[in-house]
Amino acid sequence: MKTVIGLEIHNQLASESKLFCACPTKGYRTAPANSLICPSCLSQPGSKPWGINAKAVGNVLKIALALNCKIILDKPVFVQRKHYIYPDLASGYQRTSKPIGENGELAGVKIREVHVEEDPGQYDLRTGEVNYNRSGVPLVEIVTDPDFTSADHARRFLEELSAILDYLGARRSEPGSMRVDANISIEGHPRIEVKNINSFKGVLTALTFEEARQKNLVKHGAQYGQETRHFDEKRGITIGLRKKESVDDYRYFPDPDVPPMVIGEKLVEKIRRGLPELPAQKRERFVRHYNVTGEEAFAICLEKEYADAFEEIAKDGGAKQAANFMRGVVKKQLNYRDLAYRDSKLTVKTISELLAMLEKKEITEKVAEKLLIDFLDKGLDPRKNAEKEGLLGIHGSQELEAIVERVISENKKPVEDFRKGKAEALHFLAGQVMKLTKGKASPREVKEMLEKRLK
């Protein structure tokens, strides 16, 4: 049974004002309810949209170009009204443009289209309160072909897409600004759309759940139809909402109040020339120039600020070690705390300091990780912390040699066993040494010292 998945991704665009009026978008989540509104974004009688926000459209163009789309040039791109009734929509319709770019491609997945639309307001089901501050915040919608074959494939794609949007500086990057509708079917069977998932983890959970649920239905020969489902994040399940609406239900038609956009080649070329280096290009360059592995480059380049930090460290040499450390230990501890590098206290200085101590063999990787954890959680300076805790410099020192001697003299039986050819005895002895050094020595070095001493 083959799984088929396609995504519709919405992300709020970087823009100071709303899509069809001058109301600010900044702080709409925290401002008092219904304070960032005007007659236009509420579609009050007699009000008209002001015309479309050029900055928002520019950001959509950047995104469409970065996704290798063909831009719709020199012909009218209409803004349509998509009708539905829900308290979050003061006008009874949402404005959504026809495609601005089409037929793109990213990581082997076809991008069907990219367009701009307005966010609706927010309706609180529990209290019945409506807050229109979000009404009219510009959104990009990116629609893929059903090219994904697993939930994990979809999640990886979203990571890459998300990195691109950040590199472009084209979106609001705050939690909840990306919302995904995930379509999933078992090949030859009806399609289910899971609406409004707002995290990568959520996409993975929702799709994994749906895949199992649908496979089970198919296995038992159950009949089911196209459906829209809601994702219950807390419980990790999807719940049936309604039969899927068809395009006709929305009664789309061009909005008579908004003149269609016409996008010219000059503008597009200007935007194309201004595109920054994108994650895929940066990865390729890192592999070529710094000789790091593809996986290291992938992990490091997911966040531009992190990639920049790597490059600043790597340009003075030690790129291999830096990549290994930043892809491994550092990334692990950041991920564990659900922290982006840019939101953490970490800086180039701190990472370099840890790397320098590693390089000089003053500390082991284990100790480096401990120092990093203390830095992230308690703000402790790595070197001072290492000095205070006595974690520095056990490597190859007299202190270490003394410990080796002590372990040898205190463990006659294992020493004898080892000399008789019992290799495991060495593990035991090495373990004793590690214990006495409180993990400060490198296990490999300890083993070598023991072997040399006992042979």
Determine if 63 is a binding residue for ligand ADP (CB under 6 A): no
Q: Could you give the 3-state DSSP secondary structure of residue 3? A: strand
The interface region with ligand ADP, picked from 25-33, 181-189, 374-382, 432-440 by CB under 6 A, is 181-189
Strands 70-71 and 79-83: unpaired
Query: Pick from ligand ADP, Zn ion, none: which does 69 bind, CB < 5 to 8 A by kind?
Result: none
Q: Which of 40, 80, 133, 144 binds ligand ADP (CB under 6 A)?
A: 144
Task: Give the shortest CB-262-to-Zn ion separation in angstroms.
Answer: 25
Query: Pick from ligand ADP, Zn ion, none: which does 184 bind, CB < 5 to 8 A by kind?
Result: ligand ADP
The strand pairing partners of 117, in sequence order, are 96, 139
Q: Could you give the 3-state DSSP secondary structure of residue 359? A: helix
Query: Pick from ligand ADP, Zn ion, none: which does 162 bind, CB < 5 to 8 A by kind?
Result: none
Determine if 184 is a binding residue for ligand ADP (CB under 6 A): yes
Query: Pick from Zn ion, ligand ADP, none: which does 38 bind, CB < 5 to 8 A by kind?
Result: Zn ion
List the x/- string, 29-68, binding to Zn ion by CB under 5 A: ---------x-xx---------------------------
Residue with Cβ nearer Zn ion (40 or 144): 40
Determine if 21 is a binding residue for Zn ion (CB under 5 A): yes
Contact 146, 108 (CB under 8 A): no
Query: Pick from ligand ADP, Zn ion, none: which does 104 bind, CB < 5 to 8 A by kind?
Result: none
For residue 179, what are the CA distances in angstroms to 8, 128, 203? 9, 22, 10
Residue with Cβ nearer ligand ADP (129 or 245): 245
Half-sphere exposure of 155 (CA within 13 A, CB side): 13
Q: Which of 25, 94, 96, 183 binds ligand ADP (CB under 6 A)?
A: 183
Determine if 2 is a binding residue for ligand ADP (CB under 6 A): no
Name the one residue in this structure whose structure tokens are 């979106």: 171
Q: Could you give the 3-state DSSP secondary structure of residue 170? A: coil
The interface region with ligand ADP, picked from 81-89, 139-147, 199-207, 229-237 by CB under 6 A, is 139-147
Residue whose C-alpha is closest to residue 217's, from 231, 227, 202: 227
Task: Give the shortest CB-122-to-ligand ADP separation in angstroms.
Answer: 23
Describe the chain by its helix, strand, coil percentages, rounded to 5: 45, 20, 40
Helices and strands (DSSP H and E) totals, the chain: 16, 14
Which residue, judged by CB position, is nearest to ligand ADP in the bound state?
6
Residue with Cβ nearer ligand ADP (35 or 216): 216
Q: Could you give the 3-state DSSP secondary structure of residue 8? A: strand
**What's the N-to-C CA distance of the chain in angstroms?**
60
Determine if 367 is a binding residue for ligand ADP (CB under 6 A): no
Contact 215, 38 (CB under 8 A): no
Site for ligand ADP in 322-361 (CB under 6 A): none
Q: Which of 145, 159, 381, 417 binds ligand ADP (CB under 6 A)?
A: 145
Name the one residue in this structure whose structure tokens are 């991008």: 111
Site for ligand ADP in 191-230 (CB under 6 A): 191
What is the Cα–Cα distance from 35 to 131, expressed in whole angstroms?
9
Residues 6+ positions from 196 with CB-CB distance below 8 Å: 179, 180, 181, 230, 231
- CB count within 10 Å of CB 75 equals 9
- The binding site for ligand ADP (CB under 6 A) comprises 4-8, 143-146, 183-185, 191, 247
- The binding site for Zn ion (CB under 5 A) comprises 21, 23, 38, 40-41
